[in-house]
Amino acid sequence: LAFVQERLVPLTHPPSSVTKQGVLRDHEKVDYTPRKFDNPLLVYVTPWNGKGYDLAKWVSHKVTHVSPVWLQVKPHIADLSFSCRILGTHDIDHEWVEDVRKNNSEVKIVPRVLFDDWDMEHLMAFLQNEAWMNRCLSDIMNLLTRSQFDGVVVEIWANAMVQSQGEVTEVLVEMLNAWGSTLHKKDLQLIVPVGPPLGSNYQLSGMFTPGHLFALAEKVDYIQIMTYDFVSKDTLGVAPYDWVEKSVAALVERTPELAGQLMLGLNHYGYEYSNKRMQPVNFDKYLEKLGDKNSRLEWDTKSKEHFLRTSDGKVYYPSLTSIEMRLNIARKYGVGAAIWDFGQGLNYFTQLL
């Protein structure tokens, strides 16, 4: 297979080119040049990191999909009548959607719908009740068409797989395929985020397998793997390079023709590890730590991520090098990428897209 042969791509931003002074000097610069990453690229935008709204407007010509994180779906059961409540519609901002489209008429606006507050009992009942699933999809589709969206990101897989320990796989696949079919009739896309295929031991965990990819590929437009939040007793970074690459390879080596439907997850946030605690870090906290004259920026040769060594621990946060290297994995295997979330990163990361 062509893509398995290692191509050593020289880096535009080798590790030594990223310095504290350079980041502090240049991080605010937004890059408006034409698109550099040719594969599908989705960016998530969240109300709690508002900068992402502006970035998505300014560089929409560089992305194929924008997913505003606005909506939640909760179970609603009253007098033996089963339905779904869609919350978060107050966050929908039509003016912003128009602005995003102004700079790229081809961009797909695909809001994320999170299945929230579903316990195991409700989840099992829902997945076995066709009328309930259809009613729920119908409500979602009415909202999508009324708001002139281009599709939807349905986040249910990881939660359902964890809660059921993989028992719901078959019905979950059936549901998503049925939803994909119905959405396609209205020319709407379906994107499904899933947990990372490999555990911290680099073995298939069962959370998402090549078989699952094959089963969903016909009716689901894109599957986004959450290749971040690597779980380990040791401090090994947010998304170690080898783990990200092996996760992608594990899924596409058997079915390279499906690579174009995969999106590799890219974190635009970091973590601070100090006093045995782990706390999320977005751009402003990172810049504050970077500005401390006692912090040192170093390169972790194992995870291939930059980190700040501080007086009380380490802060792992993406850099031009770490993002470029992971985008190169996507290029090598022919997969897309999805950024969580656009508003947590530094403006100058846009030069890589």
CATH number of 130's domain: 3.20.20.80
By residue range, what is the domain housing residue 94? Answer: 2-352
SS3 state at 194: strand
* pLDDT at residue number 7: 56
pTM: 0.96
Q: Name the more confident of 305 and 236.
A: 305
pLDDT at 5 over 50: no
The Cα 142–Cα 147 span in angstroms is 8
71 pLDDT more than 70: yes
Does residue 159 carry a pLDDT above 90?
A: yes
Average pLDDT in the 316-332 region? 98
Confidence check: pLDDT of 147 > 90: yes
Which residues touch 327 (CB under 8 Å, ≥6 apart)? 37, 266, 337, 352
pLDDT-derived band of residue 79, with 50, 70 and 90 as boundaries? confident
Residue-wise pLDDT for 237-281, tens only, equals: 999 999 999 999 999 998 999 999 999 999 999 999 988 889 999
Domain count, the chain: 1
3-state secondary structure 114-161: EECCCCHHHHHHHHCCHHHHHHHHHHHHHHHHHCCCCEEEEECHHHHH
| Beta carbons within 8 Å of 221's beta carbon, 6+ residues apart | 151, 180, 189, 190, 191, 261
Structure tokens at 326: 């992971």
User: Mean pLDDT throughout 28-51?
Assistant: 98
pLDDT at 9 over 90: no
Which of 46, 4, 24, 48 lies closest to 347, judged by CA?
A: 24
What is the model's pLDDT at position 4?
45
pLDDT of 198 over the 50 cut: yes
pLDDT of residue 2: 42
Under 8 Å between Cβ of 271 and 238: yes
Q: Which residue has the tokens 């009739």?
A: 185
Q: Tell me which of 191 and 4 has the higher pLDDT.
A: 191
Contacts of 322 (CB under 8 A, 6+ apart): 241, 304, 305, 306
Q: pLDDT tier at 143 (50, 70, 90 boundaries)? A: very high
Q: What is the DSSP string of 225-291?
A: E-------SS---SS-HHHHHHHHHHHHSS-GGGGGGEEEEEES-EEEEETTEEEEE-HHHHHHHHH
Residue 216: is its pLDDT beyond 80? Answer: yes
- For the segment 287-313, what is each residue's pLDDT rounded down to a tens digit? 999 999 999 999 999 999 999 999 989
In the predicted model, what is the mean pLDDT of the chain?
Answer: 95
338-352 pLDDT, tens digit each: 999 999 999 999 999
